[in-house]
A and B are shown apart, each in its own frame.
Chain A
């Protein structure tokens, strides 16, 4: 069965700092990759997704992620974070054979004003 690892459980940054959240998955076949965000008191929202094509994908609110197949990674980046980016971020994988998402354990991002 596939698994997803998010290396950082809690990241604390100051506003304007750059962000990179790691995500690695274990599955040798074709995958669809997602980053979801959960703002305080709100439900899970899609940030960005990768199905195929250009491995650098851009999402909402200035976020981007790069799919590196050889490293089984899909790291999330943002060049300059804002206080409003404080949230929990989840990486998720879906394989061709299974429709459900397998989630990482999540990374809590705190941005200090």
Chain B
């Protein structure tokens, strides 16, 4: 596709439920990033995938958060036992060797 796509665009869930957020990067981009944008914390890095290397998980806020990238393309961010403080916009970005990151439209998550 022409750009990074994310689904769903909006997600409302109840506290304690698990959610899965999906990211389709730009075709051919080897690197994929997840960020979180929230009112109190701004834009924060969560996790980074590069090719077949082990992901950099240094930004994940707790062990309730995990992500995988299948076949070097699509990625899924999973949040288990969601809490109200998980409410945010979750952004995905991808980049090629040139390393400029291009962002998707985000998934707006609301935990009630």
- The judgment on whether A and B are partners is yes
Residue positions of A touching B, CB distance < 8 A: 32, 34, 36, 42-46, 49, 90, 92, 94, 99-106
Q: Evaluate contact between B48 and A99: CB separation under 8 angstroms.
A: yes
Which 3 residue pairs are nearest across A and B when measured between Cβ atoms? A103-B43, A100-B45, A44-B103
Q: Evaluate contact between A43 and B45: CB separation under 8 angstroms.
A: no
Nearest-neighbor residue (CB-CB) of B89 within chain A: A43
Bin the interface of chain B by size: 20 to 34
Contacts of A90 in B (CB 8 A): 43
- B31 contacts partner chain A, Cβ-Cβ < 8 Å: yes
Contacts of B99 in A (CB 8 A): 32, 94, 99
> A46-B102, A99-B48, A106-B43 given. 15 additional CB < 8 A pairs?
A36-B103, A43-B105, A44-B103, A46-B100, A90-B43, A92-B43, A94-B99, A99-B33, A99-B50, A99-B99, A100-B48, A100-B56, A103-B43, A105-B42, A106-B42
User: How far apart are the CA atoms of A46 and B101 in the complex, in Å?
Assistant: 8
Chain B interface, DSSP helix/strand/loop, else mixed: strand
Contact pattern, B 38-78, Cβ under 8 Å of A = 1, otherwise 0: 00001111001010000010010000000000000000000
